[in-house]
Amino acid sequence: MSSLSLVLLLLLRDPVDGPPPAAPEPTFWNVDDLKIGQRGFGKTVMRGVKLEQFEAEVLGVLKNTSPGRDLVLCRLSGLNLERTGVIQGMSGSPIYIDGKLLGAVAYAWPYGKDPIAGVTPFSQMYRYAESFERRTVVAPSRTTRIDLPQPIVVGGRRYATVEVATHADPPLASESDDMLVMVPLNAPLAASGFSPRVWRLVRQEFPDFAFVPVQSGAVAERLAAQAGDVRIEPGAALSVSLMVGDFDMSGIGTVTHVEGSRVYGWGHPFMSLGGCDLPLMTGWVHTVCPRTSISFKFGSPLKVVGTINADVSTGIAGWLGRQPDMMPLSMRVRHEQGGDTHAFRVRIARQKQLLPPLVLAALTNSIDLEGEWPDEATIAFTCRIDIDGYEPIVIRDSFAGPAFAGAKAPPAVFNPVASLLSQLLNQPARPIRIKQIDCETEVRAGRDAAEIEGVELDALTYAPGETVRGSVYLRPYKGQPVRIPISLPLPSDLPEGEHTISFLDEVSAARQDLRTQPHLLSPHHTDNILAAVRRLAQARRTHLVMRLPLPANGVALGGDALVDLPPSVVHLLSQTRRTPVQLTAGAASAREATPWVLYGQESIKIQVSRHHRGRLNPN
């Protein structure tokens, strides 16, 4: 590596991680120096933690498969690869030729008759990892076609063109095409402690990420003890975790190279996160699962030994001896009041695009492990979210009714938490760090839900300042209608004319309030976003709200609101073209607590007239 290249690497590194590793000695190949037919060997783990060797033969070099990237085609042999083909989980397996490191196994030929691998040159793995190159999380699906300078014969067929895909499931070339198709090896993502239903949810939440979902389990204590302190060395299993603790979610691949305390692996990205902070773990391979498309390793993580801090297009890299900053999530689940409480604890990767769906998966799993969800149940839920530098956000709510019954209930209960976290983490004004989350869930038999069926008012015409008295009729599940009295004083300055009063649950009312307060949803003010989140968090589905929308009383300019303005000023400001202006409005509302989770909504129109001689009783 030239002195100029080394200087560039030093400038591009993240200074938080301290001094970079020394640039590798020139004991790795420049792809331009390779020759077709050169032979070497690779190292990987096929079972347990034992390193084994396989053979490799260079078939050709594919230049510029993507900007700045090359790929080396190799035919592999040994370790039964002739039967299994190249294996998902071999990602990162180092290949050496004449004692020099070539690179990492990273691509495979799906449905191929020979174990043809695409090898990512280590020189490019090093360069991209140390620059923390960041790509979009989901790369556009495309392929690159490259004509080989010298055709190759594979499986009895002659190939003159190679198609390199960026996605693991590209349209394969037809039998008539004289083309070899190479796809990236996805990392097997093993889940331990998850119910099958939640594991299906995980796959839905991460549809475009490059991994193969595998239902797995932890390594038996006896085997883990036998493994002892497994060394992180070239060819060893390299696990990267998204969640550790009572539930575990980890991808598995292979170590490519170790330079001091710096570790490189996989030869392709995990989730294309760029800079990241994930647990670097040793791993155990249970077995290889052969498939007609691409076989995969069935493995489990063993022990956290460092941190992965780079997830780029040419591989992953991390540091030994460092501890990842994971977010603690504690969960307590109780069935029936006074019943036994089951406690679970996990730590989750803080990546903002991963944290909300991972929290959703963990919370859903905490109650889904109890078995089939009853069709008639009521869920009481409390969640405390601690945030660095701010007061905690506390959600206390109850769930019941048709939307929270059967198999769809667990994710529906916790979706609001995931949505709230997404709002907090993706607002661009100021980075927010979630310190920890603590949740308690109680499941009771029976559906304590009621539908809003109808309303009655004591009159249909009122004067400003008068009190509207109403009766709301609720129908509890499998019960008789119940009348709930509720009253709302009208503002003394309420304009004359027709107005609509709505009767709904408090969560739905809070959402309507936020739609009329656009400044609270401004992405430029963290405090406003937090105010909006708190408004939603404080609302209860068991509270009945009588809500009267009021005329616009101000304007929102970006994240700032000017309120309580005269109507003429509001009209004047709303006409300006220099700055985007949105109208703001409030609502008069009253609420009554009920013992039921409410659903449904009713509305009724009233007339407001200053000349109406009603009972002027704001109280």
pLDDT in tens, 459-480: 999 999 999 999 999 999 999 9
Query: Hey, how many other C-beta atoms are within 10 angstroms of the C-beta on 583?
Result: 16
Its pTM stands at 0.81
What stretch of H or E contains 459? Answer: none
The tokens describing 300, both together, are 């489990």
Q: What's the confidence (pLDDT) of residue 164?
A: 83
What stretch of H or E contains 401? Answer: none
Closest among 148, 144, 169 to 69, alpha carbons compared: 144
What is the C-alpha to C-alpha distance for residues 231 and 169, in angstroms, rounded to an integer? 34
Q: What's the confidence (pLDDT) of residue 150?
A: 80
Instruction: Please list the helix, strand and coil fractions of the chain in percent, rounded to the nearest 5, in that order.
Output: 20, 45, 35
Closest among 17, 93, 508, 64 to 266, alpha carbons compared: 93
Q: Residue 312 carries which side chain, given as an amino acid letter? A: V
Q: What's the confidence (pLDDT) of residue 564?
A: 61
> Is 57:72 a contact under the CB 8 Å cutoff?
no
Q: Greater confidence, 313 or 428?
A: 313
The tokens describing 421, both together, are 């976290």
Q: Cα–Cα distances in Å, from 173 out to 62, 86, 145, 150? A: 18, 19, 11, 20
Q: Greater confidence, 566 or 164?
A: 164
Phi, psi for 563 (deg, rounded to 5): -120, 175
Instruction: Assess whether pLDDT exceeds 50 at residue 409.
Output: yes
Q: What's the confidence (pLDDT) of residue 156?
A: 75
The confidence band for 585, taking pLDDT boundaries of 50, 70 and 90, is confident
Domains of the chain, earliest start first: 3-184 (2.40.10.10), 187-324 (2.40.10), 327-445 (3.30.1490), 449-608 (no CATH)
Closest among 81, 100, 101 to 90, alpha carbons compared: 81
What is the C-alpha to C-alpha distance for residues 573 and 394, in angstroms, rounded to an integer? 37
Q: What's the confidence (pLDDT) of residue 573?
A: 58
What is the C-alpha to C-alpha distance for residues 261 and 21, in angstroms, rounded to an integer? 8
Closest among 153, 154, 109, 46 to 293, alpha carbons compared: 109
Instruction: Assess whether pLDDT exceeds 50 at residue 294.
Output: yes
What is the C-alpha to C-alpha distance for residues 310 and 133, in angstroms, rounded to an integer? 8
Q: What's the confidence (pLDDT) of residue 508?
A: 94
pLDDT in tens, 499-536: 999 999 999 999 998 887 776 666 567 787 888 888 88
Query: Hey, how many other C-beta atoms are within 10 angstroms of the C-beta on 554?
Result: 20
Q: What's the confidence (pLDDT) of residue 500?
A: 95
DSSP symbols for 26-69: S-B--GGG--TT-EEEEEEESSBT-EEEEEEEEEEEEEEEETTE
Q: Cα–Cα distances in Å, from 540 out to 421, 507, 510, 592? A: 18, 6, 10, 11
What is the C-alpha to C-alpha distance for residues 466 and 558, in angstroms, rounded to an integer? 36
Percentage of the chain beyond pLDDT 70 is: 80
Residue bearing tokens 């689940």: 333
